[in-house]
């Protein structure tokens, strides 16, 4: 059986009196698992909180892996185009133009990937509806925040290879071929 008792004071202060009353009513009935409403709510939400922490951790890990992947792909692309970049710089291109070219290429790929992911998330929103509390699966603010975050991460991950490309010395790039 479960009993609920309301008290104006601290729940722990009422416990000895509660044990005495229960013992007087029936000495064979043990008083077990006594906790406050706050403790009960915490116990009920413990699994959901663990799920949120794990999901957030996996989401952060996915973001880090995506950043590393974008950096790697952009760095590889720049390495493959070193000769082209050297020729552009030798013919009068400004390093800022090379930087913009690399970032533009990386941004194009990132926009395609984010658009595909956002579309897939809208299609799969029925699967996660029961796991969300206080947020609709197609909440525009949440989707816009996620899309913005991913695009910023893509640009930041592409920035280092783009700067390296802008600092290529034309003569070194042409010798590399």
Q: Tens digit of pLDDT for each residue in 47-102?
A: 888 988 998 999 999 999 999 999 999 999 998 988 888 888 888 889 999 999 99
Cβ–Cβ under 8 Å, residues 85 and 168: yes
pLDDT: which is higher, 126 or 81? 81
State the Cα–Cα distance between residues 102 and 31, nearest whole angstrom: 70
Cα 73–Cα 153–Cα 53 angle in degrees, nearest 5: 115
What's the average model confidence in pLDDT over 144-153?
A: 92
Q: How far is CA 37 from the centre of its chain?
A: 32
State the Cα–Cα distance between residues 69 and 170, nearest whole angstrom: 28
Residue ranges of domains in the chain? 1-34, 47-176
Whether the full predicted model's pTM is greater than 0.85, yes or no, is no
Does residue 26 come out as left (phi exceeding 0), alpha (psi in the -120 to 50 range) or beta? beta
């Amino acid at each position: 059986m479960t009993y609920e008792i309301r008290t104006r004071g601290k729940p722990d202060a009422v416990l000895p009196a509660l044990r005495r009353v229960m013992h007087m009513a029936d000495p064979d009935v043990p008083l077990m698992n006594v906790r406050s409403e706050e403790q009960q709510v915490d116990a009920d939400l413990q699994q959901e909180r663990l799920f949120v922490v794990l999901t957030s951790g996996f989401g952060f890990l996915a973001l880090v892996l995506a950043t590393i992947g974008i950096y790697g792909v952009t760095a590889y692309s720049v390495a493959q185009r070193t000769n082209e970049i050297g020729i552009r710089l030798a013919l009068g291109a400004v390093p800022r133009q090379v930087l913009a070219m690399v970032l533009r290429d990386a941004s194009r790929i990132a926009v395609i990937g984010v658009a595909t992911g956002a579309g897939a998330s809208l299609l799969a929103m029925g699967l996660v509806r029961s796991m969300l509390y206080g947020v609709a699966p197609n909440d525009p603010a949440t989707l816009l925040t996620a899309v913005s975050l991913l695009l910023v991460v893509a640009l930041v991950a592409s920035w280092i290879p783009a700067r390296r490309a802008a600092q290529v010395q034309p003569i070194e790039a042409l010798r590399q071929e």
